[in-house]
Every structure is written in C-alpha cells, then in structure tokens.
Amino acid sequence: MNEHFYAAILAGGLGTRFWPKSRSGYPKQFLDILGCGETLIQSTYKRYTSFILPENIFIITSDEYVDITRQQLPGIKPENILSEPSRKNTAPCVSYISFKLLQKDPDAVLVVAPSDHIVSDIETFKTLTLQALNFTKNNAAFVTLGIKPTYPNTGYGYIQYDINTVKDGNVYEVKTFIEKPDIELARTFLTSEEFLWNSGIFIWDVKTILAAFEQFQPEMFELFAAEKNNFNTSEEKAALGRIYPLCINISIDYAIMEKAENVFVIPAAFGWSDLGTWNSAYNNLAKNKNGNVITSDNVITFDSINSFISAPEEKLLVLQGLDDFIIVDTKDVLLICKKEKEQQVKDFLAEVKKKKGDKYL
C-alpha cells in the first residue's frame, strides 16, 4: 500500500431523510440500515482498509458522535477521529483535513468520501479509486468517480463530461456539475452518453486542493492557514474552536469543484448507491413475490405490493392495501408515506419540529 495515500470519511451528517430511524442523536451512518450485520460507517471503513493503510484513514464527524464512532470502529486510532465543533457543510472539513495532512505529509494524496454509500463490487471500486489516486499524484488535478446512471433519478446531482477528451484510457474532463434535475431532464440525461451521477467521492493531492482554496475561498483558506501550526498538536481543538464560527456554510462542490478547471471524472459502475433515502434502501434490498421489502418477521400484509416496511420485532403489524408505500415504525414514531413523496421527509421533519419541538428529531 502507498504510504502517501489517505482517506477522509465524512460522518457528521444528520441523515434526516432516514427519519424516524435516523435521529439527531444517532444518525443513519451508525445504523445497520440494510440488515447486513454492519453499520454504514463500518462497511465504508472496511472498504477503504482494503487498499489504504488503516493509520491513513480518518473519520471526520461532529463532536457529539465521537463516542459512537469509537464504539463502532474500535480498531481505529483515537487521533484519527476528527471532530468538528459545528456543522458547516463539507468545504470546511476538507480544508481542515488538508491542512492537517500537509503538516504531516506534504506528498499526501487524499480521497474524500461520505460514510453512507453502498458498494457491491469492491474490487472494481478499489481499482478505480487507486487509479484516481495515482492520476492525481502525477497531475495537479481533481478527480471524481461518476456513476453511470441506471434510471432517471431526481435525487442525485449529475456530472456532464466531455467524451472526446480522455486520459489514461478512462479519465475524462468534466464540463459541468448539475443540480438535482426534474424527472424530464433526468430522463434526457439517462439517454445521453455525457451524464453521470455525482457520487460525492473526490480525489486530489493536498497541495492542489489547498491552492484551490486559496484561489476560490481565500477567506476560509486564511482562517485555516493562520492556525496551521496548531494542527497535530494539543492546541488543535482550540484552533478549530476559533476557526469554525467564522467559516461560511458551503459544500466542497460549490466551493471548489464547480469553479476549478482541472476537474476530471472516471465513469464507474460498481454497484453504487448513496443510500440517501428509504427508496434507495428499498432498491438495495431483497423483495418478496409481491415486490415488498419487509425488515421484520412480525409483519403480515394483504393485497400489498412494492412497499418498504420497517417495524420493530416486538410489535405485530397487519397491513392491507399498500401500493408503493414507505412504512417505518419505531417505538415513538410511525411514518406512512408514498414512495414518490419521500423527498418530502425533510418537510415532515420541519413540521414535527414546529409543532412538537426537538423530542422526536
């Protein structure tokens, strides 16, 4: 394994679209959503240890999830669990890990990835990620893994790439990043050869990404640069406490990737899902003869098809007449929602907060 290759796994999100299973105190990355015996963060960590040294893998999470992370990843060094004092989206945490690694290893090449992805073809994923790491090691460039779309998904961002500019056999120049489209536009993307799903997995060397921060996000760059000598010391936590209140809330996509010119993508197909919603869980789980996914042995259905049903084992559920529904039952919340309306779960949460406070969040 290359000692200069690193991974930063982002695990500070709230996972609100998996409510009511995912709660602010115990979000989805720490849950075994698919019933496979591993939580999402455990699966992600194991995936990267197959080709990156364990001591070079960092978890970036929120202060309140540090203990959960330690419990779920007992083999990771405590100093490799990095805690942010507040949520400011992905750009500040990328700047943080990049400055930290620059002090530790100026030749560091980094893959930044969410903690809640599913990958079924580990070997292909490993091959393409290593190709991207080697490409960025030898080129001052940014690379992302773009997923070949299999249906017109309106919940993913898209990447348009130039099919006529290719390097190393399958590394293409990115034309533009596109926000989540409506269904008609998504259908158009599906029939074109130029569009890929944006996986949110990015690869670069730390010098190149920090140069981009200096160019495109100079205020954020200066905040971290002023404290860089405190990273990897006992003063690091205090330094973050000074930096984060002054950082803007912005994603790495908006902050850097959509502005930079030296951006490339590797089209990929390795059984990927970002597992962002209950619908994506439904798509990744085995279905019975009626097209239902039922995660409990204590559910009885009649005249019900193509639905996702999650219930506690200690409760009997008897359901009739479901067609394309999401049913998620917990000890204190029952969610019943049409699958096509799942993107409104955040709206449901906002209304719950408005009427009930934080009790059920």
- Write out pLDDT tens, residues 271-305: 998 888 898 889 888 999 999 999 888 999 999 99
Paired with 110 in beta bridges are 6, 204
Residue 125 pLDDT > 90:
yes
Helix 90-104 to helix 206-216 angle (10° resolution) is: 130
Cα–Cα distance between 254 and 259 in angstroms, integer?
Answer: 7
Average pLDDT over residues 123-152: 95
Q: Using 50, 70 and 90 to split pLDDT, how confident is the model at 244?
A: very high
pLDDT at 154: 84
Cα–Cα distance between 142 and 258 in angstroms, integer?
Answer: 11
pLDDT at 169: 87
pLDDT at 34: 84
Average pLDDT over residues 40-48: 96
Q: Judging by DSSP bridges, how do beta strands 81-84 and 57-62 pair with one another?
A: parallel
Residue 308 pLDDT > 90:
yes
Q: How far is CA 17 from CA 77, 79, 162, 269, 282, in A?
A: 30, 30, 33, 25, 14
Give the model confidence (pLDDT) of 141-184 as tens digits.
Answer: 999 999 999 889 888 899 999 999 988 889 999 999 998 898 99
End-to-end CA distance of the chain: 42
Report DSSP letters for 309-351, one per residue: EE--TTS-EEEES-BSEEEEE-SS-EEEEEGGGGGGHHHHHHH
**Percent of the chain whose pLDDT exceeds 70:** 100
5-276 CATH pick, 3.90.79.10, 3.30.70.120, 3.90.550.10, 3.10.20.30: 3.90.550.10
Is residue 149 classed as helix, strand or coil in its secondary structure? Answer: coil
Average pLDDT over residues 79-97: 96
Give the model confidence (pLDDT) of 191-205 as tens digits.
Answer: 998 999 999 999 999
Cβ-contact 360, 20 below 8 angstroms: yes
Q: What share of the chain is helix, strand, coil (3-state, %, to 5)?
A: 40, 25, 35
pLDDT at 273: 87
Q: In three state form, how does the secondary structure of 209-278 look? A: HHHHHHHHCHHHHHHHHHCHHHCCCCCHHHHHHHHHHHCCCCCHHHHHHCCCCCEEEEEECCCEECCCCH
What is the Cα 116 distance to its own chain's centre?
5
**What are the residue ranges of CATH 3.90.550.10 in the chain?**
5-276
Average pLDDT over residues 324-334: 94
pLDDT at 103: 93
Residue 49 pLDDT > 90:
yes
What is the Cα 16 distance to its own chain's centre?
13
Average pLDDT over residues 124-153: 94
Give the model confidence (pLDDT) of 90-117 as tens digits.
Answer: 999 999 999 999 999 999 999 999 999 9
pLDDT averaged over the chain?
A: 94
Which positions ≥6 away from 261 have C-beta within 8 Å? none
Which positions ≥6 away from 55 have C-beta within 8 Å? 77, 80
Per the structure block, which two tokens stand in for 225?
């640069």
As to burial, measured by CB atoms within 10 angstroms (0-12 exposed, 13-18 middle, 19+ buried), residue 306 is middle
